[in-house]
Structure 1
Amino acid sequence: MHYAALLRGIAPSGKNMTNDKLRGVFEGLGFEGVASVLASGNIVFGSSETDVPALERRIEAALTSELGLSSRTIIRAHRELRALLDSDPFPGLTHGRGTYLTATFLKDLAPPTGPVPGKSDPLTQFVRYDPVARVVLAVIDNGDPGRTPDFMSWLEKLHGKGITTRSWLTVQRIVAKLES
């Protein structure tokens, strides 16, 4: 199986968060075809293991013991991400400042229940929840630096820290790397 590990809280400036160190942890775990995508905690790899929660726990433990990172790991299989791309969730939209296309991956299986009653964010358009990839898809207008959307904080309140967000462009790059 080919997987993408989406690591939460990875910053390229962190001394133990560099791509080479992250790849080293995955290679040390015996995974095959380990590669990084960008410098923000996206690792693709191959494994015969199919128990994704066990893989996530194993990777999280190794990141903690080897690099001192308490990063949460969210894994998606190539087929899940390919199906997500093929579903074309943002038809006709182009990723940009006013239309920042996002995919927030959930560690848990529970889908979001919708906007919090009485609370709306005019800067965010909730597109849909994809149950196969367990991802919340949204379009964020971050074109005005004086206004900050609160969609991410709403998702974190709903799901806790077991989420991680990627731009749609990053998701496309991850799938391309899985297919190369």
Structure 2
Amino acid sequence: MNRYAAFLRGIGPSNPNMRNEKLRGVFEGLGFEKVGSVVSSGNVVFHSDETDTAALESRIQQALRAELGIPGGTLIRSRERLQSLVDADPFPGLTHCRETYLVVTFLREEPASVPEWPSEGRPSAVTVVGYDKAARALLSILDNRDPGTTNFMVWLEKSFGKDITTRTFLTIERTLKKLNS
């Protein structure tokens, strides 16, 4: 049985159709096992015999749209990919805190500009520290003391398109812990 995390784009927990229990219900309705959620922003873990993650992403997104009216995207990463990302310690010596966010942006497709990242228009509050090819994840540090962080998502979408989703590294660690339990 394969263990996966689905990171859903555009989830607003205040929307009744986007609450964790409804999200879990869609996954359970698709026949997945050991479905769970991690924090309230569209992170769902599950087990499945399926191995084609692109097909899983499409199937889940179609069900979310049909059953809950959620138009955002679904990006899936296996437990092994997330474990490798965390084990690589991409933010050595840094701690996620109110002033400094350590963030992971998952991309659906491999970007053409690896390893040279777009810098045009990148907010000064953002430092790109690397790219994890196996997880297709851009790794960045946000300086929340700088008002330029508000432009981070705009810059990401302009640089990599809208088929992405961003989580804090802390959320990735929590998700992995849930997958390993």
TM-score range, shorter chain: over 0.9
Distance of aligned partners of 1:22 and 1:68 in 2 relative to their CA distance in 1, 3 Å threshold: same
Within 5 Å, which residues of 2 pair with 1:1-180?
A: 1-110=2-111, 112-113=113-114, 114-116=116-118, 118-144=120-146, 146-180=147-181
Shift of 1:49: 0.4
Q: Distance in 2 between matches of 1:112 and 1:164?
A: 18
Distance of aligned partners of 1:138 and 1:111 in 2 relative to their CA distance in 1, 3 Å threshold: farther
Deviates most, 118-127 or 83-92: 118-127
Deviates most, 76-85 or 89-98: 89-98
Shift of 1:155: 1.7
Secondary structure of the 2:16 match is: coil
Shift of 1:71: 2.0
Secondary structure of the 1:92 match is: coil
Q: Distance in 1 between matches of 2:98 and 2:126?
A: 12
Q: Distance in 1 between matches of 2:121 and 2:28?
A: 45
Q: Distance in 2 between matches of 1:165 and 1:115?
A: 16
**Superposition TM-score, scaled by structure 1 size:** 0.94
Q: Distance in 1 between matches of 2:144 and 2:14?
A: 24
Residues 11-45 of structure 1 show CA distances to partners (whole Å, capped at 9, x for unaligned) of 11011001000000000000000000011000000
Q: Is the 2:121–2:155 contact (alpha carbons within 8 Å) kept by the matching residues of 1? A: no
Secondary structure of the 1:148 match is: helix
What 5-or-longer segments of structure 2 have no aligned partner? none
Q: Is the 2:5–2:44 contact (alpha carbons within 8 Å) kept by the matching residues of 1? A: yes
Q: Distance in 2 between matches of 1:178 and 1:21?
A: 20
Give me the CA root mean square deviation: 1.5
Q: Distance in 2 between matches of 1:65 and 1:13?
A: 19
Q: Distance in 1 between matches of 2:57 and 2:76?
A: 7
What 5-or-longer segments of structure 1 have no aligned partner? none
Hey, which of these two has a bigger chunk of helix by percent? Answer: 2
Secondary structure of the 1:109 match is: coil
Deviates most, 166-175 or 150-159: 150-159
Amino-acid identity (%):
53
Secondary structure of the 1:91 match is: coil
- Residue 26 of structure 1 aligns to which amino acid in structure 2? F
Q: Distance in 2 between matches of 1:66 and 1:119?
A: 38
